[in-house]
Structure 1
Amino acid sequence: MLSATDIHVRLSRTPVLKGASLTARPGEVSVIVGPNGSGKTTLLRAITQEVGFEGEIRLDGEDFTALPGWKLAARRAVLPQHSRIAFPFTVAEIVRLGMTAAATPPPKGRVAEALERVGLAGFAGRPYAALSGGEQQRVQLARVLTQVWEPVGPEGARWLLLDEPVSSLDIGHQLEVMELLASYAAEGGGVVAVMHDLNLTAMYADHVMLMAGGLMQASGAPADVLTDSNLTRAYGCALRVNTAPPAPATFLLPHTARPAG
């Protein structure tokens, strides 16, 4: 289990997290949602130790911050929201960066296998900088997959920690990536993702954590968290949770959204 308890973060002396807590379990897709500025990315960056924080983060009971780098690399891979590459790498070279941190030497052909899993078969020799934003995002996902390829290792469940993993993708590739994450969790791995798309969250999350104002406002099953009252309060606009009508009726979202008040 991955847990963060009473996490406080200040950025430029401004409180961003004000005692946020999180619990995620292997075998589940855990999704953090909430409005802009709610602290979602900051909480993930605290867990990955990219920002200083007060509080406690534990992995299977161990102090996360006390684990040596090699042990962390074997247990979790991190996909940031933005990845800037300053050198003229090929796609294959980017993917191999994840393999250098893998717990065991990967077999020959792992790069091609990873690219195929993210829908980029045949892209290995292409210049990374020449790809579209969505293609680059999938290359980065292939990179983190090679780091923790097997969802469970000798040391326990491995984790994918992802910030907006489908933000630059069209709907077809969004579904493809979400299916990949669901499969990783179904095989015993842990997935924690920051997301904005509430519909994809409702479709794929086993566990939803709703943030607002630097705090966790609700946590639990999608049906318990994604309610009219919770979402209206968190996002500051009147929202209604719906189910799609039978085809072929037209259905557009968010048809009930309007400024609160």
Structure 2
Amino acid sequence: MFFVTSVVAVIAYLAATGAHLATIFGDRPRLQRLALVATSGAALVHLVLAGLLIADKGFASVFEIRGGVTLGALVLVVVYLFFAFRFELESLGSFVTPLAALGVMVNVVGTATGARFTLANEILGVHIALAFLGTGAFTLACIMAIVYLIQEGQLKQKKFGPLMQRFPSLDRLDAFGLRFVGTGFVMYTVSLLLGLFWAWRHAGLAIDGRSGLSVLTWAIYAIIIQARITVGWRGRAAAQLVIVGGLSAVGVIILYLTRAPA
């Protein structure tokens, strides 16, 4: 049942991806509605998959490779759907749905290779939950930054094709990207402080590759926010740094879930 649900979720997300890509060249209103319906349906299947995972392995499944990635991908899709319906950002689905499919594929082709452990206390649980949520926000900001670079490149080359008409304007991408960066930064800051406090209480605050990369990720987004507040920094360079920060945040999750040696 678990395997079958995973396969169905992957197929549903791939179908949704196809629908989102079709909006670039076809009847936009009709295809966008179809794409959102397909994405919502895939998310429902994904939710069932998450329920099966937690029912089978308990909440600790979030700390395994397939559990953590699968649940993180679900959060990403849910947040996307909220913004798609609320702020008409449907076109970003062509980036979100393939990432979600990749997250679910871990259940199809992989095994639970991450460490299994019980929560030492509530602090560690909140730390990990906020880390996943913060990384999800940074991932959405990263998607915004990628689309921003695509749009800017189209404008510079004076190519006013389908992409220019389908994706949000540079100002909207910048504004929503900043929202995701700010939201992710708050959650990531609290997560980092709780993680450092827990490590100090239980492991003597030893610095390893995971914690070092976490601090680097936090510093990257702190620089972005500070530069935006003080000098209004935006544009291509800012978008590129947002992408670097997003990749760094995802790297932290990968190192944590695989228990990679420091």
The TM-score range, normalised by the shorter chain, is: under 0.3
Structure richer in helix, relative to its length: 2
Q: TM-score, normalised by structure 2?
A: 0.26
If each structure's strand is expressed as a fraction of its own residues, which one has the higher value? 1
Structure of greater relative contact order (alpha carbons < 8 Å, 6+ residues apart): 1
